[in-house]
Chains A and B, each alone.
Chain A
Amino acid sequence: MLPIILLSVFGIVLLFLGFLKTRAVLLPAALLFILIALGAGFLEWNKSYLYFGDMLLINNLAILFSTIVLISAFMVVALSGDFLEDEMAQPAEYYAILLFSIVGAMMMIGYENLIMLFVGVEILSVSMYILTGSDKRNLRSNEAALKYFLMGSFATGFMLFGMALLYGAVGSFTLTDIKSYILLSHGRPSLLLYMGELLVLIGMLFKVSAAPFHFWTPDVYEGAPTLFTAFMSTVVKTAGFAALLQLLSVSFSAIYGFWWVILAAITALTLLAGNLTAVYQNSFKRMMAYSSISHAGYLLIGLAALGQQSRSALVFYSLAYSLATISAFGILLLVAKQHTTDGRPDESYSAFNGLSRNNPLLAFVLAVSMLSLAGIPLTAGFWGKFMLFSAAVDRGMVWILILAVLMSAVGIYYYFRVVIAMYFREGQAGRIRVAPFYQFILIAATALTIILGIVPGLFQNIM
């Protein structure tokens, strides 16, 4: 609760800090604000409170998800030093919007009332539309923003319709009311409830880019400035899955038999679409977009096989995925700046050729994050997949497990293309100068990935 208020105020403060002559204060200020919010969040650890007239529920699960969101945001902001050099950029506004979007994400994580979910989704989405189009001189950025906006509002429409139907059936927006309605209906709840649930699900699945609602993802991720792509693919995804988990586990676990088939089918489709299409890509950034779709697929396994293990598995996987993704985009930012074709940074695989020669650290960081995304042991990604898969085993979903394992094998192919490019291809990559703080963030993310890979219990202890 406190972080939500703090971040809203800090966002406004940042807007006004933008009027100062020196832009240099913005980055440290934004980082500081996020850290304060992070600390404030833990004040409510081990207490469970309802806020705003039962609109918002803050418990340990919500705090953990918020922490992942805040850590991701912290890293993204920390990697954003370039804004301060760009004349056209408006860092104060970017940072303020980032902070506001975190507020939205935190509402999505801790909502207890569907209205709160809607408000959160909208705050996050609108912020993302703006950030996607923030590179105003770039036509693709504009196109991506418009596409995202149109598709996003379309999906929001469905979600809102679903909520209205739920209200029609239950007479309340509160999750626990929906639950008790289902329990009291003796297995025959109104048809409106089913319709409503499906439509809300569809709206949320769009936000986390699950197939077949994923078409916008590659275009938007590729068009948006790389940094915001990193933000979108981590924060939005984490918040989206937290919201879905909350919705399904609190309200709809009683009618699991109704929705799990659909979710399982969507999981399978997402895994197939994400992994298979990623194989064909030549642009690293676009590959990462498909990879984010495929990871949505893995995370969906945890929801489709909703059970005891789902919570910790989803939290762990989100963290592992966020760490690896942000460091990968961080490296991409650095590398793409080196070569430009037609004034655009080169984001293809070939940009990474021979990176290990002169930049062993960067190559190592990227290699570790690729290994983690591919789910190779001794990285956090491996344990994330392991936990999700064992959740599926608990539910006896063998076929989806087989598909997921096969698709992970496909994933190894496209993730390793980068590693091969870095270590085995000849390239003329010169030494890239990296700011110490930037370097620190990359090393910290890599270290955390490895530590969680070796000692997953460290994190399970916290849960």
Chain B
Amino acid sequence: MERIPILKMGAFLLVTIQVDMQDQLAMALQDDLTEKISRTGARGVLIDISAVEVVDSFIGRTIANIAAMARILDAQTVLVGMQPAVAITLVELGLTLPGVRTALNVERGMALLQGEARSSSRVQAGEADGDAEG
């Protein structure tokens, strides 16, 4: 069975979905990703769905689930490159993905993750969390 590759970039995981999502594929991605987060201790996950043209309620919920699971595993999820048609579909389905960060493209998504990582490491180092600048 084909699988979606998960790439490791420093402290982050990068997932690029280049094919139409099937239910099986989405479930496999969910398992692989959670497993990989816990194994590598990744701080962030970036999912690029710019090539996805069609989503249904199951795929939408799976994406929301992946984000929620990643957050429990202490990794921020950023969803990037959602197409307008997909965004409209998800909103009409009532899947507004609360708690999932979004960005227009991979570059901005990465910047977002790096900003998050910096500010959280500063908090851990005991510095004042004064500025929310990314």
A, B in one complex? no
Please list the residues of chain B having a beta carbon within 8 angstroms of any beta carbon in chain A. Answer: none
**What is A's interface to B at a CB cutoff of 8 Å?**
none
